[in-house]
Chain A
Amino acid sequence: MCGIVGLLIKNPKLRPQLGQLMLPMLIGMTERGPDSAGLAVYTSAVGANERKFSLYAFEEDFSWQKLGHDFQQHLGSAVTMVPQANHAILTTHLEPATVRVWLKEHYPSLHLLSVGQLMDIYKDVGTPAQVAARYDFASLQGTHLVGHTRMATESAVTPSHAHPFTAGEDFSLVHNGSLSNPNSIRRKLEPLGIEFETDNDTEAACRFLQWRLREGDDLKTALMAGFDELDGFYTFLMGTRNEMALVRDAFACKPAVVAETDDYVAIASEFRSLAHLPDVKNAHLFEPMPEELYVWKV
């Protein structure tokens, strides 16, 4: 099943309340996705030469302080670490490739969730309320976010299999639905140098889009190619640096409803996740049409 939520704040005054406004949306989708939850949040950008890395440690008592210390010792470069439970955001001006290699060599058990200048990813197993409490989602600030509550149907329940998935920098994708050809997509992309981290179907969709974007497609063209290549059911909600985008497959078996006011654009699988939003009674409410790309800009 799964639930998706997205919130883009138009009114800058409300951006400090992004997490607070979103939290009941995510928890409202618990019945659709009780086993894992996660989100990608777009916050203020790091410096032009910096990148931030969202990291996940499977051990609860993992020492982020030691990692920061080792990083500075080995690479001779300043780093900031912002830990929160099993998760931490590492910010550095070193090249992503350098950081990746170093992490793989020295901390192979760590899971690198995302790389970017604006985006942080948090995801874990547990009910949406548990995950939200563990990572203090209520305190999140920023322009927009995409979130997911998972009811696994095709691969294991682990933090790595939870959504969002990411492809390239500052791109995130959450998925309600299932794909029937993730393995053939994988067989097509791996020889092209695209690496997979899990056997999850959504990751296959994400890598497919990553490949198309890498080849020069814009998001719309990449998604049009997806209509031909991705076999299955999906409502995809995506985040980029300055956009939130949504698309549903031709059969539109997976729901979505949009509420738009002067202050925000909110998306959820069902209206019950939007009912608490301020002034939702006067919002423009609509259901996105199948095979149409909807894009909202920050």
Chain B
Amino acid sequence: MESLDLHKISVRDLNHFLHKEAPAKGVKQVEVLNPDGAHNIAAGMDYATTIDIQGHGGYYVGGMNKHADITVHGNVGWGVAENMMSGSVRVKGFASESAGASGHGGTLIIEGDASLRCGISMKGIDIVVGGNVGNFSCFMAQAGRLVVCGDAGDGLGDSLYEAVIYVKGKIKSLGADARVEEMTDADYAAVKELLDRAGFKHDPKEFKRVASAKTLYNWNADANQEY
């Protein structure tokens, strides 16, 4: 295992190691010490390796991740795993705003709460949140799944496309065009599979499904701009 200390090297040096030297040497396990809220830790990964960040990360931890499995043993700032393509990011603490924004693939697991705009504009990523999610989560989410084991804030799923949200707790309010739908066997199976992936113990039967009512898919002149 390679251990890199951000008190001794810069984030640029760290990411250069992760992008170039780690694949060249075939490093399968990396530990990052003293992250101290620095931005862009392990952003732009394109290589299958395990990365353990020992502390709190700043903005964009694991952004654009492809293939790597990243664990943050602490909290993260804005935009964790933004635009992730594949692999996984696990946050042991809480995540600030826009977690998993625009993510195309892979799995983002947040063991604590996620702040506002979790999964905004997601495009295929799966996000599992052990705690609550803040207001405007999954705004304009296009594809993928968000599982919330706690409560959801205001405006959940506003202007959703094909992404699906599963919530165990209370939903403060739904956004425009989002609606609660009946759970099917496929939904229960999906929630079970995602909870298992995250290692969270909940009964899939307790989750609600939120999806798009699709009333915004086509322009409705009679709506008089009221939605």
CA distance A252 to B78 in the complex (A): 12
Are B78 and A255 within 8 A (Cβ)?
A: yes
Chain A contact residues, majority secondary structure:
loop
Interface size on B, residues (CB 8 A): 19
Are A287 and B37 within 8 A (Cβ)?
A: no
Chain B contact residues, majority secondary structure:
loop
Q: Is A272 located at the chain interface by the 8 A CB criterion?
A: yes
Residues 71-85 of B, flagged 1 when their CB comes within 8 A of A and 0 if not, give: 000010110000000
Q: Which residues of A contact B58 (CB under 8 A)?
A: 270-272
Among residues 90 to 144 in chain A, which have CB atoms less than 8 Å away from a CB atom of chain B? none
Which residue of A251, A252, A271, A273 is within 8 Å of B75 (Cβ)?
A271
Q: Which residues of B contact A287 (CB under 8 A)?
A: 94, 96, 115
Residues 112-146 of B, flagged 1 when their CB comes within 8 A of A and 0 if not, give: 00011000000000000000001110000000000
Q: Is B38 located at the chain interface by the 8 A CB criterion?
A: yes
A-B contact pairs, 5 of them (CB 8 A): A250-B135, A255-B97, A271-B58, A275-B37, A285-B56
Among residues 135 to 179 in chain A, which have CB atoms less than 8 Å away from a CB atom of chain B? none
CA distance A287 to B36 in the complex (A): 16
Among residues 21 to 59 in chain B, which have CB atoms less than 8 Å away from a CB atom of chain A? 36-39, 56, 58-59
Q: Which residues of B contact A271 (CB under 8 A)?
A: 36-37, 56, 58, 75, 77
The 7 closest A-B pairs by CB, nearest first: A272-B37, A271-B37, A275-B36, A271-B56, A275-B37, A252-B116, A272-B58
Closest to A248 in B: B116
Residues 92-103 of B, flagged 1 when their CB comes within 8 A of A and 0 if not, give: 011011000000
Q: Which residues of B contact A270 (CB under 8 A)?
A: 37, 58-59, 77
CA distance A286 to B136 in the complex (A): 19
